[in-house]
Amino acid sequence: MDYGEVRARLAGLVVFRALLSDPVVEKFQHMLEAGCTGGTDAGLTFTAAAADFEAALFETGTSWTAYLEALVLESENVCIRRAAHSTADETLEKALAAELRFLQQLGAMKWADVRRGAPALSEAQRASADILAPWRTETADFAGDYARRAAEAGRRGYGMFAKNHVFTVENGRLVPVRHPDPQRLAQLPGYEGEREKVIANTKALIAGLLANNVLLYGDAGTGKSSTVKAIANEYAGLGLRLVEVKKNQLYQIPDLMDALAANPLKFILFIDDLSFTANDDNFAALKAILEGSVGGRAGNIAVYATSNRRHLIKETLGDRAGDDIHEADTKQELMSLSARFGLTVTFLRPEKDRFAYIVAELAAQYGVDIPAEELLVKAEAFAIRAGGRSPRVAKQFIELCRAGVTV
């Protein structure tokens, strides 16, 4: 392909148009444009543009082919969305095939090809640009690799959902968490029975079966939040994604649900440390989300919430002694929110035997070599000073032991 054809076909991308906003691809375009711009300083301008491209590319690797193919495979576009739902369109499929062929040719372009093909440069100017180290290219099958990725779209996702599995909400938009908590289920000893209920519900969600919204209620430090995060990590490879929503963002959940409902992946909307005060507007918002709005809940979404309060409402004796004529109705209203979670799992503060088991398991995980009886005596003393037994306290104790801190 000559320069004119490359520039025209790159500018004319339709299915993969989002690639044009990628900073490395942008700099590749600028390099091609510089090669078409004449003038006495054309060689210098072209060399500078090529250096800008290489500097951006080399931040991630030295292979232009690998970089471009990764963009193609991770692209969120109309064809991959249709593939995820098995709704192909002949016109789109033809456009997809043509663009994949072109992008594979583009990814195979070497520095020498770009330099020699620059129409506005003289031989001397082309030679002066030879000071740059060439980027790497390699053999690739864009069409074949893309077909395999499209076939897995329901499990691996596309776009940012293919690269990340944990998200937060900012200004109504999903933002990937680049370094999520790496907690795994195997690292959470104790509470296996309680955790298994949440796991079974999550497996039903992943399998496309009817899954409940879940309330994990109980004492602080018992592993409620860790359970949800570990489950998200454990089943990310099966198409599970976690979206953490803060309490003051609850009003944004209906829009999120609408956006995620068409996605082939499965989503947990996670609300951590949930509780409300009287007359809290978010109370009614969450009730409608869980059950009661005119819109049905999407089958690929479940709400998981953790709380230290069984009924989620902070209530005082003064509230009970108010002047409400229909006091029973008011109490039912306040208690109705927790009832809308189909599954409630209780995490209570561990008794002595369970605490001993948790301490022993964590000691083995962390490689803490202290005689069992001595370890438990020290752990109990530490728990008293820390305000009581809990898995969090046990983990803090073991981490201090591993660090060699006297406890």
Give me the CATH number covering residue 320: 3.40.50.300
- Do 187 and 333 reside in the same domain of the chain? yes
Q: Please give the pLDDT value at position 57.
A: 98
- Do 386 and 311 reside in the same domain of the chain? no
Q: Looking at the domain assignment, is residue 289 inside a domain?
A: yes
Q: Looking at the domain assignment, is residue 157 inside a domain?
A: no
**pLDDT of 81 over the 70 cut:** yes
Final residue belonging to a domain, choices 97, 118, 152: 152
Q: Please give the pLDDT value at position 296.
A: 56
- Do 144 and 190 reside in the same domain of the chain? no
Q: How many angstroms separate the CA atoms of 185 and 181, rounded?
A: 12
- Do 338 and 361 reside in the same domain of the chain? no
**pTM exceeds 0.85:** no
Q: Looking at the domain assignment, is residue 232 inside a domain?
A: yes
> Any bridge partners for residue 301, and if so which?
267
Domain tally, the chain: 3
Q: Which of 294, 399, 295, 390 is nearest to 347 (CA)?
A: 390
Q: Please give the pLDDT value at position 120.
A: 87
Q: Please give the pLDDT value at position 329.
A: 46
Q: Please give the pLDDT value at position 324.
A: 55
Q: What angle do CA 306, 311, 317 make, to 5 degrees?
A: 130
- Do 206 and 339 reside in the same domain of the chain? yes
**pLDDT of 335 over the 80 cut:** no
Q: Please give the pLDDT value at position 172.
A: 84
**pLDDT of 48 over the 80 cut:** yes
Q: Which of 35, 61, 30 is nearest to 113 (CA)?
A: 35
Instruction: Using the structure block, give the residue that is written with the tokens 């929503």.
Output: 245
- Do 48 and 64 reside in the same domain of the chain? yes
Given pLDDT bands bounded at 50, 70 and 90, which one contains residue 293? very low
Q: Which of 306, 314, 248, 312 is nearest to 277 (CA)?
A: 314
Output helix, strand, coil percentages for the chain, rounded to the nearest 5: 55, 10, 35
Q: Please give the pLDDT value at position 38.
A: 72
Helix (H) / strand (E) element for 353: namely helix 352-366
Please state, for a pLDDT cut of 70, what percent of the chain lies above it: 89
Region of residue 273 (left: phi > 0; alpha: psi -120 to 50; beta: else) = left
- Do 90 and 189 reside in the same domain of the chain? no
Q: Please give the pLDDT value at position 24.
A: 98
Single-letter amino acid code for the residue at 126: R
Final residue belonging to a domain, choices 131, 152, 173: 152
| Residue range(s) defining the domain that contains residue 362 | 352-402
Question: What value does the mean pLDDT take over residues 119-143?
Answer: 91
Q: Which of 243-247, 254-258, 367-371 has the lowest mean pLDDT?
A: 254-258
Hey, what are 338's tokens? 């927790």
Question: What value does the mean pLDDT take over residues 340-364?
Answer: 94
Question: What value does the mean pLDDT take over residues 34-53?
Answer: 87
**pLDDT of 205 over the 70 cut:** yes
Q: Please give the pLDDT value at position 317.
A: 46
Hey, what are 211's tokens? 């899954």
Q: Looking at the domain assignment, is residue 158 inside a domain?
A: no
Final residue belonging to a domain, choices 329, 347, 365: 347
Q: Please give the pLDDT value at position 311.
A: 57
- Do 220 and 338 reside in the same domain of the chain? yes
Q: Looking at the domain assignment, is residue 398 inside a domain?
A: yes
Q: How many angstroms separate the CA atoms of 386 and 380, rounded?
A: 10
Q: Looking at the domain assignment, is residue 407 inside a domain?
A: no
Q: Can you list the alpha helix ranges (DSSP code H) found in 129-220?
A: 142-151, 153-156, 160-163, 192-206
Q: Looking at the domain assignment, is residue 205 inside a domain?
A: yes
Q: Please give the pLDDT value at position 326.
A: 41
Hey, what are 267's tokens? 């989503």
Q: Which of 7-11, 312-316, 326-330 has the lowest mean pLDDT?
A: 326-330
- Do 214 and 139 reside in the same domain of the chain? no
Residue 276 per-residue DSSP state: B
Q: Please give the pLDDT value at position 294.
A: 45
Q: How many angstroms separate the CA atoms of 108 and 238, rounded?
A: 33
- Do 147 and 190 reside in the same domain of the chain? no
Q: Which of 68-77, 121-130, 187-196, 361-370 has the lowest mean pLDDT?
A: 121-130
pLDDT in tens, 209-247: 989 999 999 999 999 999 999 999 999 999 999 999 998
- Do 361 and 246 reside in the same domain of the chain? no
- Do 222 and 195 reside in the same domain of the chain? yes
Q: Looking at the domain assignment, is residue 159 inside a domain?
A: no
What is the residue-averaged pLDDT of the chain?
88
